[in-house]
Structure 1
């Protein structure tokens, strides 16, 4: 009796230690997120969010569909900004923090249902401190809302796997899938993986296959009109392709939890060292998964399929595209796959549990994982993104004078210019896709009588608008004197002075 009591006491102490470790890690991560909401200025995708929510409702929906984004997240953001009554970096990013916290809170019941308490707390640590999820929590983007949808889809699917007649969970699955798809079509990676798993279980759990087929049919039916609007109005592909090697680093992001590479930031030396440590862990986890592949419990088997299949699809479409040049590759940044994280964390926690024969060793492993992910969290929060904030504040706001003209390219950056240079009056914007020189000349000549013209170019390597302005008003003074190419430039022109000098030799007309 005494021995049993001692065992219960020891078990309870280890359980409390796991709880405390997970809770402490979460508190630190939360503090890091809140203290870094304005560490970076808005990068170009966040600038597009800012632009969208300033449009009237109908225009916002059409503009987002044109760029390949479904409108639900932007509708929520527009409603939030209306409620907040102001716009700044913190206000724009607070919804992402809320979505991340809701996802973490929703994940605990899922982890607890799937694993015993100690392993569930480890899964919670892996999920809550994942570098990708934390990075998205400090950006005005939709991906932590996609993560929240992924948690509830995972919970619904795994519940129905055990309890096939739970009608409310069936209804919840369909509604969450539909809502999540209208937040971001990247949820298709998760829904496709679940369809594959349901097909593999078609004999033992035919209700899951029927559910997934019905869900996909509903999504296909309601997305016909948005798809047609996008195809008829798009002017470029909107998939942010990453180098093929990054696809293998995505495994690192979801298995070890450390942040990987993306298309809008670079990793510093500290984060590269953390990524290397995570890569070693990932290789070991994959080896462990291969050895245990025939003894996976049912929920873990689902998690393994869901975690790996979308990455395999990305690799396969890239290889097929390389061979055929059909333009069908869907390989993109890890944020496209963020909905897989709930399953990946369940899988990794179980693999680590299998490698720890004692409670003490599992606690040590949990501590090491938490330390690795907290180091990663610090690095992820201090990543510097490509933002025009400092450029606009120091090169435009501090130099602008009443009467100066300001032209912005692309037109979606107008609100960002007004946010960071509120004293500057934006008088004209150009779509980045506008390349017709005659149109550009005619519009730029409207500023022929201005003393100074600021042309703000915030996206792309080279601007036709800058080239036309150079031909009309002489070579502009670049905010980056070393190069006239590259992203985020402000060019200063003196139209009146230049045209007066030119008019002494020959007149300039808009028709030239």
Structure 2
């Protein structure tokens, strides 16, 4: 009998050890992958890099014509001053924020789920294809994840201990969030509404505390008030001209695709697995004996509150997008992402130890395959095109990008020494001017742009066209632009064909004889 008990104890110790090993590997895996991508910056990243390189006054003017709030770009500019503006250095800022998000997830989950649950949560966010995707991009979404977690941790602390420090950190996190992404307006609106409901249902000291949090929440909006003139100008002139509003079913599909890590079969399996774990976390509760799970809405008020605030944020944001005909992208579901992590971690932690270990290991394996597949795919074909131009062309060649959305990545990949033009403005194209963008594109004439381009081009060597059709508001203009150039310069030689299977942003490359 003693030998049997000894065997059971050793088996339990082995399972605990394996759990710590698997979870730690997941965290290490994510931390390493946050810094791995070596592919050229694609459009949105190159746009961020260009804006962040401006002084503060120029930064504000640049953002008037871009459509985002300023905090991320300001911080990225400071980071670039310290560590340089190479592709790796700029992406490392997001990777650093991704690592901070892992730590903050552990702190947030530990307040409710203990050591086991917090380690699962940290492992899930570290290995998440969604988290890694934006920890490897020069975009603001890793900062948004980190700030959302900061908001929650300090909000929870402020409700339990209403000292000035907790409230101040909460308000600071909210203020930073509002200056990082405009969907934060929906999140903060829902949060304040939730606090108002809490005030109505509370009594005594608790009611006083919630009233105080409302005041601090409103105070956190003051810094954004100084940005309102730029915000209103952006609303009128920028918006999202690169896409139209999706149907509600498309919003759900894009969200699942983003959380899974793309469109591959592995990404689909990750999305399904996360959906099941989220359902297990939010729609099961501990039975009266405390050891048997029952079907029903989760008994933990903190998780229900995060779910309601996250879901209402998504509902409000997608409804406004639909009513105003503005775009929705899967990355906007970042405001639902912390709930997905917490609910999944809770669901896993409530299973028997052996099941927790097995399912966590399986999910980490699926995530690693999905991430590896996504990171192995170049996000833009402009790197390949730049290599061809560098090897086949000469300094001083004229290169025109159609549409102009191909140009920022092209500028980064090609470097100096070429005459660069964009369709239809014939500017250099270091970044996109989104100001009244759709209207300008609708009014563009491929024939006139071709004539103006050839008049401006001073190259006596090669003329290169980087082009592709299909971008919103351009229709078939770039194909027509190519035809107009071919009429004047001959048929041209296609050296690179657009490859949408291997590249997120594909493009064609055509070389023309410059002799006219």
TM tier, smaller: 0.7 to 0.9
- Unaligned stretches of 5+ residues in structure 2: 286-292, 433-439, 500-504
Distance between the aligned counterparts of 2:450 and 2:257, measured in 1? Answer: 45
Alignment of 1:187-202 (within 5 A): 187-202=184-199
TM-score normalised according to structure 2 size:
0.77
Distance of aligned partners of 1:113 and 1:138 in 2 relative to their CA distance in 1, 3 Å threshold: same
Q: Deviations over 1:294-337 (max 9, x none)?
A: 5522211222213322333355457xx4xxxx43456x223212
Distance of aligned partners of 1:249 and 1:442 in 2 relative to their CA distance in 1, 3 Å threshold: closer
Q: What is the aligned partner in structure 2 of residue 340 from structure 1?
A: 336
Determine if the alignment matches structure 1 residue 349 to structure 2 residue 345: yes
Q: What is the aligned partner in structure 1 of residue 165 from structure 2?
A: 168
Distance of aligned partners of 1:66 and 1:8 in 2 relative to their CA distance in 1, 3 Å threshold: farther
SS in 1 for 2:299: coil
Distance between the aligned counterparts of 2:490 and 2:64, measured in 1? Answer: 38
Q: What is the aligned partner in structure 1 of residue 385 from structure 2?
A: 391
Q: What is the aligned partner in structure 2 of residue 494 from structure 1?
A: 513
The structure 1 residue matched to 2:464, chosen from 423, 447, 454, is 454
Q: Which moved more, 1:112-121 or 1:442-451?
A: 442-451
Contact 1:149 1:176 in 2 (8 A): yes
Q: What is the aligned partner in structure 1 of residue 435 from structure 2?
A: none
Contact 1:150 1:340 in 2 (8 A): no
Q: Which moved more, 1:113-122 or 1:227-236?
A: 227-236
The structure 1 residue matched to 2:252, chosen from 248, 252, 260, is 248
Q: What is the aligned partner in structure 2 of residue 141 from structure 1?
A: 139
How much does 1:193 deviate? 3.8
Contact 1:99 1:148 in 2 (8 A): yes
Distance of aligned partners of 1:145 and 1:221 in 2 relative to their CA distance in 1, 3 Å threshold: same
Q: Deviations over 1:95-152 (max 9, x none)?
A: 1110000111122121111212212222222222221001111111111011111110
TM-score normalised according to structure 1 size:
0.78
Distance between the aligned counterparts of 1:242 and 1:478, measured in 2? Answer: 35
Distance between the aligned counterparts of 1:482 and 1:97, measured in 2? Answer: 30
Determine if the alignment matches structure 1 residue 72 to structure 2 residue 71: yes
Q: What is the aligned partner in structure 1 of residue 214 from structure 2?
A: 210
Distance between the aligned counterparts of 2:498 and 2:42, measured in 1? Answer: 23
Q: What is the aligned partner in structure 2 of residue 508 from structure 1?
A: none
Contact 2:72 2:140 in 1 (8 A): yes
Alignment of 1:21-420 (within 5 A): 21-34=22-35, 36-38=36-38, 40-85=39-84, 87-163=85-161, 165-202=162-199, 203-204=201-202, 205=207, 206-207=210-211, 210-211=214-215, 214-215=218-219, 217-218=221-222, 221-231=225-235, 233-234=237-238, 237=241, 244-249=248-253, 252=256, 258-261=259-262, 267-281=263-277, 287-288=283-284, 294-313=297-316, 316-317=319-320, 321=322, 326-328=323-325, 332-354=328-350, 356=351, 358-394=352-388, 396-408=389-401, 416-420=409-413
Contact 1:397 1:424 in 2 (8 A): no
